[in-house]
């Protein structure tokens, strides 16, 4: 999962404004309060501030203080950035933080500013006086019920603070600064070019029809794939897995009866496919799941490729390796992350 930003803060501090800004940058939005709204809607009840607080407390009482967070986590996909709003209980915050992917931001604004914003929105049920507003603030900050809203404890878990006391331009600039910090901490891991192309070669190998071993090669130039090939019987010949190669189907010992094998090798097919479509492979790199045999080595040398990158060593690789070295072709082994060194 790339980036998850959690938002917490007092009423009318500007969490929604920050969430909208992140949504414009491609973040997918979730509010823990949406879980509560769904419950109230299913029960046919009116959605008011008081009803949301009461139902949220009830859900936490019945299913645990982190129920809203857990239900939201279940909806998240690994290939998206998310902003999650309305985190009001420390158990919710800890559940979201436990995955190690979320940055919790405390959005803050002076009480007087927040009260003026509340009055401007003219929402039914909002307090009419500043004193009543502060009373609600205090109740949400210091609830004695472990399943209730305990904002002060949530704020203490936040690692970033965003002050929203002036105009949007300043808020957005501050948010951009925070995103710059967060993106370095949550930079998505990317495979190296070697692992990228070798992984593709492994996928290409899954197309092999050989009954003995699945091998494939990918030819790359300027970090672009220009040809692929996997081992199997030649074009128009019955597949090896369907009995097309008697040598393979007799499961001859490795390295024996090679003159009877009618299967083309992965490197051979990749080179021939490039020739078939008139693509130059001079100075290219070939990624292969096994180090090349003698026949494929000669084809690699004569085709003008400059580098061979392989995953596993072919059982009979001494002479091919010697020839590649003599021809001045670079050879490297790249093991996959799930393989032993």
Residue 267 is a catalytic residue: yes
* Marked catalytic residue, from 10, 153, 267, 268: 267
The three state secondary structure string of the chain is CCCEEEEEECCCCCHHHHHHHHHHCCCEEEEHHHHHHHHHHHCCCCCCHHHHHHHHHHHHHHHCCCHHHHHHHCCCCCCCCEEEECCCCHHHHHHHHCCCCEEEEEEECCHHHHHHHHHHHCCCCCCCCHHHHHHHHHHHHCCCCCCCCCHHHHHHHCCEEEECCCCHHHHHHHHHHHHHHHHHHCCCCCCCHHHHHHHHHHHHHCCCCCCCCCCEEEEEECCEEEEEEECECCCCCCCHHHCCCHHHHCCCCCCCCHHHCCCECHHHHHHHHHHHCCCCCCCCEEEEEECCCHHHHHHHHHHCCCEEEEEECCCCCHHHHHHHHHCCCEEEECCCCCCCC
The catalytic site residues sit at 267
């Amino acid at each position: 999962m790339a980036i998850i930003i959690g938002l917490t803060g007092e009423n009318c501090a500007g969490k929604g404004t920050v969430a909208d800004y992140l949504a414009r940058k491609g973040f997918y939005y979730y509010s823990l309060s949406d879980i509560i709204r769904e419950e109230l809607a299913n029960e046919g009840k009116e959605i008011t501030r008081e009803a949301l607080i009461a139902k949220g407390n009830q859900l936490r009482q019945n299913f645990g203080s982190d129920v809203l967070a857990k239900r939201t986590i279940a909806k998240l996909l690994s290939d998206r950035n998310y902003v999650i709003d309305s985190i009001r209980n420390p158990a919710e915050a800890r559940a979201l933080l436990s995955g190690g992917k979320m940055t919790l931001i405390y959005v803050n604004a002076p009480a007087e500013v927040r009260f003026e914003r509340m009055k401007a929105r003219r929402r039914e049920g909002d307090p009419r006086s500043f004193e009543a507003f502060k009373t609600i603030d205090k109740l949400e900050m210091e609830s004695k019920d472990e399943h209730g809203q305990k904002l002060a404890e949530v704020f203490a878990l936040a690692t970033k603070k965003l002050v929203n006391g002036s105009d949007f331009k300043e808020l957005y600039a501050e948010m951009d600064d925070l995103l710059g910090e967060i993106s370095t901490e949550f930079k998505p891991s990317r495979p190296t070019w070697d692992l990228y192309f070798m992984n593709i070669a492994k996928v290409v190998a899954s197309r092999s029809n050989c009954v003995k071993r699945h091998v494939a090669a990918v030819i790359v130039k300027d970090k672009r794939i220009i040809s692929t090939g996997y081992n199997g019987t030649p074009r128009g010949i019955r597949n090896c897995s369907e009995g097309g190669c008697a040598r393979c189907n007799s499961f001859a010992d490795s390295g024996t009866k090679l003159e009877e094998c009618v299967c083309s090798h992965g490197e051979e097919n990749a080179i021939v496919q490039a020739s078939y479509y008139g693509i130059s492979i001079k100075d290219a790199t070939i990624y292969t799941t096994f180090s090349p045999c003698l026949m494929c080595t000669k084809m690699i040398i004569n085709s003008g490729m400059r580098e061979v990158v392989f995953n596993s060593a072919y059982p009979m690789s001494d002479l091919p390796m010697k020839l590649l070295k003599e021809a001045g072709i670079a050879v490297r082994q790249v093991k996959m992350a799930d393989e032993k060194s």
